[in-house]
Chain A
Amino acid sequence: MLRRAAAVVAGEAIALFARFVTAPRAIWSGVAPESVQRVYFANHSSNGDFVLLWTVLPPHLRARTRPVAAADYWLVSPLRRFVGRDVFDAVLIDRRPEARSEDPVAQMVTALDEGASLIMFPEGRRNSGDVPLLPFKTGLFHVATARPGVDLVPVWIGNLNKVLPRGEVIPVPLVCTVVFGAPIRLMPGEERDHFLARARGALMALSEVGT
């Protein structure tokens, strides 16, 4: 009970801090902020990506939306565990295929079956290079195959990599945009690579919106 209250307060504090630093502007360009189960998939260029996406969701959606995140990052200290588990209610996946006991796709599907929406970063790791978007890993395809009825919403997070570039400690406050695009779904019989290219294209197309 106390832990739950602390998590709510911490969540609001984190959202307030994110707003202070980035004055985020949410642009719902292809989809409305409605109570529909979704998988939000976004570009990943900063550690703050899912925090920002989570911040701009209206509270009624935020409560039911769980980021998919790396267990090796979020379970190393009690504070991170509290933030990862209690505040964001993250679906924590093990990134080491050889050592893990649980299948990440199965974990995500379980979360969907429990009614949650998900936040995913299909690039699989943080993009700190010059290309705008890395090739997608296959996770998004497997989730779409398992639950083809769920809308997959592309979300472009703009400018956040300039707020805190790799290797910097102090964030520079800059205005960021979060663009929500039109949902896509796996088409019947669609090949893996075709689907992933289509999903990546839908996300890339949003990078031009709102700039």
Chain B
Amino acid sequence: MTADLPLLVLFAGVFALLAAATVVTEAVAQRRPGPVTQNLRARVAAWWVMVVLLALAFAFGRTGVVMLFALVSFAALREVFTLTVRGTADHLALAAGFFVVLPAQYVLVWTDWYGLYSILIPVYAFLFLPVISALRGGPAGFLDRVAETQWALMLCVYCISHVPALLYLAIPGFEGRGVLLIAWLIFTVQFSDVMQYVWGKLAGRRPVAPALSPSKTWEGFLGGIATAAAAGTGLWWLTPFGPLQAGLLALMVTVMGACGGLVLSAVKRDRGVKDWGHLIGGHGGVIDRLDSVIFAAPLFFHVVRWMWSTT
């Protein structure tokens, strides 16, 4: 059995959801025009584009998926470095991050060299990029600078590359269907983001971290996580997991996703920006949309690898 039929069913479902969201949003926008509904329309429109892009990448198989996430990493790294860059001493180190570390990480994922891609950035980039900065500039803010560069690479390249890495897990009885793991992960985590937004808007009262973000509330968190975990459980038939296992994993990835949103909000607040960028209309930057996936993907990858994969 291939991944085609379940994938078609999932995408048909997502397109139906988006069509419903479009109809509802347009109706609301007609009745109550304003900045909130305008933003909502932009968000829904951007979702259409993102889902179609993902479907296209899936259609091109492993190479398409690896390429898509390499480009996503590139755009994400561009956003973080924009906020952290200072002075010219680090110029070459940042260029190496873009043009050596990022391609190397994705080539290693593409060739399934797990032993190296899981340590390339935590060990080798960690040791060598500061050497370039040290050779080229003074000590002012040195620790801050190299720490920010390392953080950016971990977030934008290392963590995100664990999404396409899911394609290469060898799960008995699930051969050739790794793309379904990606579809399930992204759907569950992103659905949690959407439902946190919806629950927060409808019932949000108590902020989780008032100093970081007034729009993140316990009601939104718990409602979003519960709804999305239930949806992830209901989609167990896409995955190699049983319903209970799918439920526990969905709980794990949605909680991690919420943590990612919180941590990256703190970074934005520290830098005095509202969004990471402007690439995705209504949502902000690439990282605004992927903060949850960044935190959920590595953990999901390792748990599935330990418990289901033979590699």
A-side contacts of B99, CB under 8 Å = 170
| Contact between B95 and A172, CB atoms less than 8 A apart | yes
Q: A173-B98, A174-B85, A175-B277 are in contact. Are A23 and B78 (CB under 8 A)?
A: yes
Interface digits, B46-88 against A, CB 8 Å rule (1 contact, 0 not)? 0000000000000000000000000000110111011001001
| Contact between B85 and A172, CB atoms less than 8 A apart | yes
A165 within 8 A of B: yes
Q: Give the Cβ gap from B26 to chain A, nearest Cβ, in Å.
A: 26
A98 within 8 A of B: no
A-side contacts of B75, CB under 8 Å = 23
A105→B99 CA distance, assembly (Å): 43
A159→B99 CA distance, assembly (Å): 20
| Contact between A172 and B91, CB atoms less than 8 A apart | yes
A185 within 8 A of B: no
Q: Give the Cβ gap from B91 to chain A, nearest Cβ, in Å.
A: 5
Q: Give the Cβ gap from A106 to chain B, nearest Cβ, in Å.
A: 39
Chain A contributes a number of interface residues (CB within 8 A of B) equal to 13
Interface centre among B81, B88, B91, B95 (most CB of A within 10 A): B91
B-side contacts of A165, CB under 8 Å = 88, 91
Interface of B is mostly: helix
Q: A25-B278, A162-B85 are in contact. Are A170 and B95 (CB under 8 A)?
A: yes
Q: Which residue of A lies closest to B277 (CB)?
A: A175
A169→B85 CA distance, assembly (Å): 17
Q: A174-B78, A174-B85 are in contact. Are A168 and B91 (CB under 8 A)?
A: yes
B94 within 8 A of A: yes
| Contact between A23 and B279, CB atoms less than 8 A apart | yes
Interface residues on B, range: 10 to 19
| Contact between B74 and A173, CB atoms less than 8 A apart | yes
Contact of B82 among A159, A167, A168 (CB under 8 A): A159
Q: Give the Cβ gap from B246 to chain A, nearest Cβ, in Å.
A: 37
Q: Give the Cβ gap from A94 to chain B, nearest Cβ, in Å.
A: 32
Contact of A170 among B85, B88, B92, B278 (CB under 8 A): B92
A25→B284 CA distance, assembly (Å): 12
Interface digits, A165-199 against B, CB 8 Å rule (1 contact, 0 not)? 10110111111000000000000000000000000
Contact of B98 among A159, A162, A167, A172 (CB under 8 A): A172
Q: Give the Cβ gap from B270 to chain A, nearest Cβ, in Å.
A: 15
B-side contacts of A162, CB under 8 Å = 85
Q: Give the Cβ gap from B112 to chain A, nearest Cβ, in Å.
A: 28
Q: Which residue of B lies closest to A161 (CB)?
A: B88
A-side contacts of B94, CB under 8 Å = 172
Interface residues of A in 16-44 (CB under 8 A from B): 23, 25
Q: A23-B75, A165-B88, A165-B91 are in contact. Are A172 and B81 (CB under 8 A)?
A: yes
Q: B residues near A, CB below 8 A?
A: 74-75, 77-79, 81-82, 85, 88, 91-92, 94-95, 98-99, 277-279
A-B pairs with beta carbons under 8 Å apart, 12 shown? A23-B75, A23-B279, A170-B91, A170-B95, A171-B95, A172-B95, A173-B74, A173-B77, A173-B98, A174-B82, A175-B78, A175-B79
